[in-house]
Structure 1
Amino acid sequence: MCGRMATLLPHDAMAQLFGAAMANDLPDVPNYNVCPTVSVAVVTSETTVRRLRPMRWGFIPHWYKAANGGPLLINARAETIAEKPAFKAACRARRCLIPAAGFYEWERPDGGEKLPWFVQRADGAPMVFAGIWQDWEGDGQRLTTCAVVTTEATGEIARIHHRSPVILEEGDWGKWLGEEGHGAALLMQPPSEGVVRTYRVGKAVNSNRASGPELLEPLED
């Protein structure tokens, strides 16, 4: 799964990387501890123009009467995304890219204390998650929201957790965004061997109030 991430790349660098027009109200970066329900920078493609825009991380189905009117949907399972009522329309028509420096995952050896890890690309490039998005209006609010698509974990990630975000390679960005015809469903796979690296970090990140670059420092043996 993906329940916490870090975003470090400046907005102008993100806009250049994706060839996207940049919105004026993007969330502050860097953010070393991005938690659900906060705003994240997301790439969409609309009428052949890519946009870098803010969205609330936590997908809200249209039938929710309030933003907290049901389960917090930060992830969407690739195996069922096309059938789930909450996600199936977005999967067909509202796919997005969610860039990050990487994400945190926790293991619990022998059912004991939760130990945090950081997962990033082995080549140091930004990590780009497959995402879906949804406009929602209700309870006097209007929000644009998103979720990270996840799949079964393999390799490095599987040693920590059984789920992984779908991590897209640059050559697949256009296909996921719907710019290059059909075939997006074939992209919902675990990352290939060697794409990511993982390392232990300190337990400070167990708190969603923690912040600062020290959260990403490798834990010394």
Structure 2
Amino acid sequence: MCGRFTLTVTEDQLKMRFGVEEIPFDYQPRYNIAPGQMLTAVIQHEGQKRLGQLKWGLVPFWAKDASIGYKTINAKSETVAEKPAFKNAFQRKRCLIPADGFYEWQKSASGKQPMRILLKDREIFTMAGLYDTWTSPEGEKLHTCTILTTKPNPLVSEIHDRMPVILRREDEGLWLDREHFDSDLLHSLLTPYSEDEMFSYPVAAMVGHVKNELPECIAEI
């Protein structure tokens, strides 16, 4: 599962990372992004990357109402091609979810310790995502997304039994390509990221409360 993450970089860092000249929304560094909130996403349109915002919790275009989004914050990579909520988006609506860390809770004798997991170089990485657009009975459009998960690498397995699919930078273009669909090739990308390039550290329990959106959330304790 992936239920909380961070994107604390500057607007200029985000633009440089994805080769875009502008961000069409009020970007702010985020220290505790939670399901149901708006997050930054990257899609590809006519061969160009575009940054925008999506609501976390995918609502398929065919859903009767938006409440399904509470159950679809994650999609298991092993079954994404078969599940009704995800199979259409897997074919045509793949996106990148930029992050610079994610949280998981490690069980211990004294309770659950929140851990922040990130790359050793502390750079932006991208999680594999899917998106869709749902239209309400009143005609309002809702743009939503989900984050794919996979089995954990040895580092994350000490903390949790799932981890987000983190794409290698050289594979991001393939994941975004809407014109060519090769299920087997795409599934080959949905593997645990190398533990050798990652590390983790404990953070304060305050990250357990979604209202806490402060730099202190990512401070090591």
Decide: shared fold, TM above 0.5. Answer: yes
Residue 69 of structure 1 deviates from its aligned partner by: 4.5
Number of the residue aligned with 2:132: 134
Residue 33 of structure 1 deviates from its aligned partner by: 0.8
Number of the residue aligned with 2:206: 204
Number of the residue aligned with 2:6: 6
Question: In 2 relative to 1, CA 139–114 (structure 1 residues): closer, same or farther, beyond 3 Å?
Answer: farther
Pick which of 16-25 and 49-58 moved more: 16-25
1:23-73 superposed Cα distances (whole Å, 9 cap, x missing partner): 4225x4211111111111111112211101111111112232322246431
What letter matches 1:114 in structure 2?
K
| 2:38 is the alignment partner of 1:36 | no
Number of the residue aligned with 1:74: 73
Query: Given the two structures, how large is their TM-score scaled by the length of structure 2?
Result: 0.91
1:87-106 superposed Cα distances (whole Å, 9 cap, x missing partner): 00111111111001111101
Question: In 2 relative to 1, CA 217–70 (structure 1 residues): closer, same or farther, beyond 3 Å?
Answer: closer
What letter matches 2:119 in structure 1?
R
Residue 179 of structure 1 deviates from its aligned partner by: 6.9
1:193 to 192, 195, 204: 195
1:95-148 superposed Cα distances (whole Å, 9 cap, x missing partner): 1110011111012225x6221000111121112101111011114331111111
Separation of aligned partners in 1, 2:60 and 2:75: 12
Residue 15 of structure 2 contacts residue 23 of structure 2 at CA under 8 Å; is this kept in 1? Answer: no
Superposition pairs of residues 84-123 of structure 1, within 5 angstroms: 84-109=83-108, 113-123=111-121
| 2:148 is the alignment partner of 1:146 | no
Separation of aligned partners in 2, 1:62 and 1:180: 20
Residue 77 of structure 1 contacts residue 149 of structure 1 at CA under 8 Å; is this kept in 2? Answer: yes
What letter matches 2:136 in structure 1?
G
Separation of aligned partners in 1, 2:56 and 2:22: 18
Separation of aligned partners in 1, 2:144 and 2:12: 22
What letter matches 1:67 in structure 2?
A
Identity of aligned residues (%): 35
Number of the residue aligned with 1:19: 19
What letter matches 2:146 in structure 1?
A
Give me the CA root mean square deviation: 1.8
Which of structure 1's runs of 4+ aligned residues deviate more than 3 A? 20-23, 179-182
Q: How many residues align?
A: 217
| 2:127 is the alignment partner of 1:125 | no
Q: Structure 2: which 5+ residue stretches go unaligned?
A: none
What letter matches 1:18 in structure 2?
F
Separation of aligned partners in 2, 1:99 and 1:41: 7
DSSP 3-state at the match of 1:33: strand
Pick which of 71-80 and 156-165 moved more: 71-80
Pick which of 29-38 and 132-141 moved more: 132-141
Residue 204 of structure 1 contacts residue 210 of structure 1 at CA under 8 Å; is this kept in 2? Answer: yes
DSSP 3-state at the match of 1:108: strand
Residue 154 of structure 2 contacts residue 195 of structure 2 at CA under 8 Å; is this kept in 1? Answer: yes
Number of the residue aligned with 1:49: 48
Pick which of 142-151 and 3-12 moved more: 3-12
DSSP 3-state at the match of 1:162: coil
Q: Structure 1: which 5+ residue stretches go unaligned?
A: none
Separation of aligned partners in 2, 1:71 and 1:13: 31
